[in-house]
């Protein structure tokens, strides 16, 4: 599966300084940075393996507890 990775820039809410990430991140990973924006020209596509074996529904049983 091909995934987009970018370098991102964001404004530090404490200092007000515009910072750039050192690592290439996906959009989901960059969502922790306030108002993150992609840095143009830094797009990388990476092939990752996706393992769907652990996505089966899980059933949890809760014992009846009486007060």
Task: Give which of 43, 41, 33 is closest to 11, Cα–Cα.
Answer: 33
- Flag whether pLDDT at 63 surpasses 60: no
| Eight-class DSSP state of 59 | -
Long-range contacts of 50-57 (CB under 8 A, 24+ apart): 50/1
pLDDT at residue 2, as a whole number: 86
What does the domain layout of the chain look like in residue ranges?
2-47
Q: How far apart are CA 21 and CA 6, in angstroms?
A: 9
pLDDT in tens, 16-38: 999 999 999 999 999 999 899 99
Strand partners, 5: 44
Name the percent of the chain lying above pLDDT 90: 60
pLDDT at residue 61, as a whole number: 55
pLDDT at residue 39, as a whole number: 96
């Amino acid at each position: 599966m091909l995934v987009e990775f970018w370098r991102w820039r964001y404004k530090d809410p404490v200092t007000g300084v515009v910072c750039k990430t050192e690592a290439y991140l996906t959009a989901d990973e960059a969502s922790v940075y306030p108002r993150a924006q992609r840095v143009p020209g830094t797009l990388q596509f990476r092939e990752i393996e996706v393992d769907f074996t652990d996505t089966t529904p899980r059933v949890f049983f809760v014992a009846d507890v009486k007060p």
